Structure 1
Amino acid sequence: MQRLQSFRYELRPNGQQACQMRCFAGACRFVFNKALALQQERHAAGEKRFTYAQLCQTLTAWKKQPELLWLNDAPSQPLQQALKNLERAYTNFFEKRAAFPRFKKKGQSESIRYPQGVRLDQTNGRIFLPKLGWVRLRLSRPVLGTIKNVTVRLRAGKWFVSIQTEREVAAPVPQATNAIGIDMGIARFATFSDGDFLAPLNSFKRHQVRLARYQRRMSRKVKFSNNWKKEKAKVQQLHTRIANCRQDFLHKATAAISQNHALVCIEDLQVGNMSKSAQGSKDKPGKNVKAKSGLNRSIMDQGWYEFRRQLTYKLEWSGGMLVAVPPHHTSQTCPHCGHISPDNRRTQAQFLCVQCGYQNHADVVGAMNILERGLRLLACGEDVSRAKVARPKRAASAKQEPAEATRAQHDAGTGAVGIPVLWDGEDVTVPPS
């Protein structure tokens, strides 16, 4: 099977190469913005939008204009890739995957992409880039496979190169044989169906006070002055540190899960909808805006979508499988009797079934239900969005009294009692959890 994989390294250019890369990135940004303005002009005039091939022909004409001759100093392929990025942005907009393309600003997302013409010397730790020559890099691990494309990106004052490769690998065979369900949360980052959990890192929350201090300092400086640029560099470096800590945590967590499990069931969470602002409009202001903004900040700090993305491809590499199930009522459904009620979860952490008296941590209950839904969905393709768990019927004589006794003992803090049920025609007692 073919495997696409990316390797990222830090570049170590000299002063001239760093200056050239900034100029090349600026040329790519200029071409992107000029092409976007041209597309908007044609749309305003009622004309059809240019295709990628027509934009490439327009780029050739731009290079011949006297005031744009400096575009010839930049490599041709990165400029064409900027036009391809614009075409992809329009495609994502029309397919409702992203917002309308916007103009790029200087200092934001400075990048260059080379689809070909790149050579890598792993022995001497250097890479050849067109019109830049050989550039040194910190080769922390060997590059495997054939190079498909190379992207050079500026991040917090440092240049990085991402090398995408393609290689043939054998079909993976999973080493583990067990399955697990995962419930995502704020207090607990990931709770597993076997009772274990991962504590959240909260990278942004740990650095929030320092970040606010740096931002206040930057706001007091004259904009675009040298002192303002110094403070801005500190803010960028701290944001980079926050992102690196989050990525390191997610990579370690997903690697451990994918190596120890053959089947992982998670909730199909719509993170974008969950983290939408509740501010509302001037005519219809939102409710509990401050609390909702804090919740949105915590959700984005956890990195749920990135966790799912990494877990998907790492399970594919290890031969495992990821199943996403609907999240409806996963924390309100009793895994023992299948009763669904909001009263089952009185607090954020405690679950107590009002019908059978089963109690456990609410996140563990959610993970157990997620695992069961995933198994049912994988086994027979069943629609489990509104399904109840299949459990044996309880004895008629033990319908209300045990639950009432359990509720009374739970409120008094004395624990739960055994629950008599009917299992295969025999009366058995389920011990408390």
Structure 2
Amino acid sequence: MKKFRPQPGFVVKAYRFALDPNAVQERALHSHCGAARAAYNWAVAWIEASWWQRKAESTYGIPQEQLTQWRPWSLPALRKAFNAVKHTDPRFAAWWQDNSKEAYNTGLANAAAAFDNYARSRQGQRRGRAMGIPRFKSKRKARPSCRFTTGTIRADADADGRHVTLPRLGTLRTHEPTVKLLARIQAGTARILSATVRHERGRWFVSLQTEVKRDLVPSPGPAWRSASTSV
């Protein structure tokens, strides 16, 4: 995945807010994050199926050039394969339309990144400890999360400045005011690039990756946390 490069004079900063969803919104948040995990697990199984098939075929003496083709793990390839089966695969057919396409894209993108990191690690092109083959994510252990890169993503200019709007999830209330971010957006010195929702320690949070004009960014300090420019 290509790294996002901010325009000259700008940096990327994450604005994080605790969410205060109602019961319906909380169910939708869990559904979106569950869809991301399901898509990730589907991608892992789909990719590895060709690996195990090739391994089985090789034990029968089938020539290398006649073995089952490797399945690609690029994000475009995974999207194409997933879109071809989501209407009929029993794991998705009954409910895939309940969530934003960004939920499934989150899982597919994470799978593509995981296999890319695994391949680079095997080839000695990745620093750090060796990475194992990507594993399935369990509902019990995986941290629920979902990323939105398209659709309506905004901090709302309402009376109390405590709402954000996300695709399919609609307008959600935040515990903290978003007025500082909103003021910068309205001044043309900031724009939201993406949003990620996560469930941590029993609460929901949204992190808004934002391109911000550099002269508005304070000097590094305990309260300042600048996000990576990788989006």
Q: Do both proteins adopt the same fold according to a TM-score greater than 0.5, normalized to the shorter chain?
A: yes
Q: Is the 8 A contact 1:152 1:161 kept in 2?
A: yes
User: Helix, strand or coil for the counterpart of 1:95?
Assistant: helix
Shift of 1:106: 0.7
Question: Residue in 2 aligned with 1:152?
Answer: 197
Q: CA 1:6 to 1:99, structure 2 compared with 1: closer, same or farther past 3 Å?
A: farther
- Show structure 1 runs of 4+ deviating over 3 A: 170-174
Q: Is the 8 A contact 1:109 1:154 kept in 2?
A: yes
Letter in 2 for 1:48: W
Shift of 1:116: 1.9
Inter-partner Cα distance in structure 2 for 1:158 and 1:103 = 24
Letter in 2 for 1:168: K
* CA offsets 1:254-295 (integer angstroms, 9 cap, x no match): 96xxxxxxxxxxxxxxxxxxxxxxxxxxxxxxxxxxxxxxxx
Question: Residue in 2 aligned with 1:104?
Answer: 137
Of residues 127, 131, 143, the one that matches 2:164 is 127
Inter-partner Cα distance in structure 2 for 1:34 and 1:104 = 10
Unaligned runs of 5+ in 1: 175-250, 256-309, 315-433
Shift of 1:129: 1.4
Q: CA 1:44 to 1:17, structure 2 compared with 1: closer, same or farther past 3 Å?
A: same
Q: CA 1:41 to 1:13, structure 2 compared with 1: closer, same or farther past 3 Å?
A: same
Inter-partner Cα distance in structure 1 for 2:172 and 2:214 = 30
Inter-partner Cα distance in structure 2 for 1:55 and 1:110 = 21
**Under a length normalisation based on structure 2, what TM-score does the superposition of the two structures give?**
0.70
* CA offsets 1:129-174 (integer angstroms, 9 cap, x no match): 1221111012345224200000000112110000000023249998
Inter-partner Cα distance in structure 1 for 2:143 and 2:108 = 15
Q: CA 1:19 to 1:172, structure 2 compared with 1: closer, same or farther past 3 Å?
A: closer
Q: Is the 8 A contact 2:195 2:207 kept in 1?
A: yes
Over alpha carbons, which structure has the higher Rg?
A: 1
Inter-partner Cα distance in structure 2 for 1:99 and 1:10 = 34
Shift of 1:66: 6.2
Q: Are residue 62 (structure 1) and residue 85 (structure 2) matched?
A: yes
Letter in 1 for 2:103: P
Letter in 2 for 1:2: F
Unaligned runs of 5+ in 2: 1-8, 55-68, 185-189
Q: Is the 8 A contact 1:8 1:161 kept in 2?
A: yes
* CA offsets 1:376-416 (integer angstroms, 9 cap, x no match): xxxxxxxxxxxxxxxxxxxxxxxxxxxxxxxxxxxxxxxxx
**Under a length normalisation based on structure 1, what TM-score does the superposition of the two structures give?**
0.39
Q: Are residue 17 (structure 1) and residue 25 (structure 2) matched?
A: yes
Of residues 94, 105, 108, the one that matches 1:80 is 105
Inter-partner Cα distance in structure 1 for 2:162 and 2:218 = 34
User: Aligned residues: percent identity?
Assistant: 27
* CA offsets 1:58-97 (integer angstroms, 9 cap, x no match): 2212221162221121111221121111111112222224
RMSD: 2.6
Inter-partner Cα distance in structure 1 for 2:26 and 2:114 = 28
Shift of 1:54: 1.8
Paired residues for 1:30-429 under 5 Å: 30-46=38-54, 47-50=69-72, 51-65=74-88, 67=90, 68-69=92-93, 70-96=95-121, 97=126, 98-107=131-140, 108-117=142-151, 118-123=153-158, 124-140=161-177, 142-143=180-181, 144=184, 145-170=190-215, 252=222
Q: CA 1:172 to 1:112, structure 2 compared with 1: closer, same or farther past 3 Å?
A: closer
Inter-partner Cα distance in structure 1 for 2:175 and 2:18 = 6
Q: CA 1:59 to 1:167, structure 2 compared with 1: closer, same or farther past 3 Å?
A: same
Shift of 1:110: 0.5
Q: Is the 8 A contact 1:63 1:72 kept in 2?
A: no
* CA offsets 1:1-27 (integer angstroms, 9 cap, x no match): 220000111000000110111111111
User: Helix, strand or coil for the counterpart of 2:19?
Assistant: strand
Question: Residue in 2 aligned with 1:207?
Answer: none
User: Helix, strand or coil for the counterpart of 2:133?
Assistant: coil
* CA offsets 1:214-260 (integer angstroms, 9 cap, x no match): xxxxxxxxxxxxxxxxxxxxxxxxxxxxxxxxxxxxx63x96xxxxx
Q: CA 1:113 to 1:173, structure 2 compared with 1: closer, same or farther past 3 Å?
A: closer
Letter in 1 for 2:31: C
Q: CA 1:83 to 1:146, structure 2 compared with 1: closer, same or farther past 3 Å?
A: same
Q: Is the 8 A contact 2:162 2:177 kept in 1?
A: no
- Structure with the largest fraction of helix: 1
Question: Residue in 2 aligned with 1:320?
Answer: none
Inter-partner Cα distance in structure 2 for 1:113 and 1:80 = 8
Inter-partner Cα distance in structure 2 for 1:66 and 1:48 = 21
User: Helix, strand or coil for the counterpart of 1:146?
Assistant: strand
Higher relative contact order (CA 8 A, sep 6+): 2
Letter in 2 for 1:158: R
